[in-house]
Amino acid sequence: MSAPSDARSRGWLYDGQSAIRHEVNVLLLDGRLVIEGHVTVALADLERIDASGLLLGRRDVPGWRLGIEDAPPALIAALPQPPRLGGWLDRIGLWRAAIVLAVLSALTVVATIWGAELAARSVPRSWERKLGDAMTGDFADDACVTPAGQAALDDLARRLSPPGDPMRVKVVDVPIVNAVALPGGQILIFRKLIDEAKSPDELAGVLGHEIGHVEKRHVMVALVRRFGLGLLIGTTGGSSDYAQALLEARYSRSAEAEADDYARWAMRAAHISPLATAGFFARAAKERRSEPGVFAYFASHPAPDDRQRAFAEAAARKAKVRPALNPAAWAAVRSICAGHKRPTITQRLRF
């Protein structure tokens, strides 16, 4: 055992047992800190609490605090070093901390993506249908309905829908080229999209794509990601907010591809050629380049050039086809908004 150093330092101590402050002298002896009149503490049991002063704590005694006021260099060098980054960062090191944070960030992203999908796909169809009905109700004054036009749309939607689960389609009198899928199997088509379509086959392609979004639950996933779980318990947003969110929705590339895949599958099953839809996309791409903003539908969808190519390739595969609607039914759809009073909906929604 070495002799105690003469370099005693003044300090103060809270022993963790009482709130009494003790004025003490401390000195270093054989790797231990001697606190005169109190217990001797191994240096390994001490930890530096502050970064600049000499405030020490004990890992094994909560509330134990020792402040040293005039420590010589030898004592300072022997004491634990002050924290550089923060408690747990110092314990595991900077690089390990960076790896841990990177893993946690990745897990957070995965949880956000998959959590939203799992939550959306767990929503009962009956609840989803009620939400869709509420959102459709906001467009009630803008809806165009004629018996013949609606019957033609219903027939086309039934042929493009999954077996036994026909989607409901409405036309709203809004002068933009757009369509939107709502929860619960409802599709809104804006009037100008029908005006721009050259044939019912073109309309069938767009309608099939939107039905694909509903069928694959992309609509609910988009809403849950935007509004969180508050959507499911009714604490965030209203039906008009949800409709606006869907108008602005940017589905993932994989979701858009799934919806297009569904559209081509449904058209093939309904014996409707995808060639006209390819032409619709080609024309839209050309017009969008010359007159941005006219085709709002494509602002939230993949590049129409790519979609035109995919539908054209599908059309190259020989199959028995027939028009999506006969001339009389198509005429009824084209004129469905003819007698409707022009809406004020653009004042409520942002396009």
3-class SS shares of the chain: helix, strand, coil, % to 5 = 50, 15, 35
pLDDT greater than 70 at residue 153: yes
Place 242 in a pLDDT band, splitting at 50, 70 and 90.
Answer: low
For residue 226, being part of any structural domain is answered with yes
Contact 324, 203 (CB under 8 A): yes
Shared domain for 69 and 133, answered yes or no, is no
Residue at which a domain ends, from 39, 58, 85: 85
Place 1 in a pLDDT band, splitting at 50, 70 and 90.
Answer: very low
Distance CA 338, CA 114 (A): 45
pLDDT greater than 50 at residue 247: yes
pLDDT greater than 70 at residue 167: yes
State the average pLDDT for the chain.
Answer: 79
pTM of the model: 0.60
Specify the pLDDT at position 309: 84
| pLDDT (average), residues 206-231 | 81
CA 256, 260, 263, 265 torsion-angle sign: negative
Shared domain for 182 and 54, answered yes or no, is no
| pLDDT (average), residues 130-158 | 86
For residue 52, being part of any structural domain is answered with yes
Specify the pLDDT at position 125: 75
Place 334 in a pLDDT band, splitting at 50, 70 and 90.
Answer: very high
Shared domain for 60 and 159, answered yes or no, is no
| pLDDT (average), residues 41-46 | 88
22-31, 45-54, 241-250: segment of lowest average pLDDT: 241-250
For residue 220, being part of any structural domain is answered with yes
For residue 96, being part of any structural domain is answered with no
Shared domain for 160 and 223, answered yes or no, is yes
Comparing CA positions, the residue from 72, 349, 326 lying closest to residue 200 is: 326
| pLDDT (average), residues 226-245 | 62
b/e per residue 69-104 (b: at least 16 CB within 10 A): eebeeebeeebeeebeeeeebbeeeeeebeeeeeee
Specify the pLDDT at position 3: 43
Over pLDDT 90: what percentage of the chain?
Answer: 23
| pLDDT (average), residues 155-170 | 91
Shared domain for 202 and 301, answered yes or no, is yes
Query: Which one has a higher pLDDT value, 346 or 71?
Result: 71
- Per the structure, the complete domain to which residue 41 belongs is given by 9-85
Shared domain for 137 and 74, answered yes or no, is no
Specify the pLDDT at position 325: 95
Distance CA 310, CA 240 (A): 34
Question: Which amino acid is it at 207?
Answer: L
Shared domain for 130 and 57, answered yes or no, is no
For residue 115, being part of any structural domain is answered with no
Q: Within a 10 A sphere around the Cβ of 165, how many other Cβ atoms?
A: 12
Shared domain for 237 and 335, answered yes or no, is yes
How many separate helices (H) and strands (E) can be counted in the chain?
14, 11
Specify the pLDDT at position 4: 47
Place 303 in a pLDDT band, splitting at 50, 70 and 90.
Answer: low
Query: Which one has a higher pLDDT value, 243 or 151?
Result: 151
pLDDT greater than 70 at residue 295: no
pLDDT greater than 70 at residue 166: yes
Distance CA 253, CA 259 (A): 10
For residue 94, being part of any structural domain is answered with no
| pLDDT (average), residues 59-75 | 86
Specify the pLDDT at position 2: 44
pLDDT greater than 60 at residue 343: no
Distance CA 29, CA 26 (A): 10
Count up the domains in the chain and report the number: 2
Task: Enumerate residues 6+ apart whose C-beta is below 8 A from 301.
Answer: 256, 307
For residue 107, being part of any structural domain is answered with no
Place 211 in a pLDDT band, splitting at 50, 70 and 90.
Answer: very high
Q: Got the DSSP string for 208-256?
A: HHHHHHHHTTHHHHHHHHHHTTHHHHT-S--HHHHHHHHHT----HHHH
Contact 79, 43 (CB under 8 A): yes
pLDDT digits (tens, 9 = 90+) for 5-33: 557 888 899 988 888 888 999 988 888 88
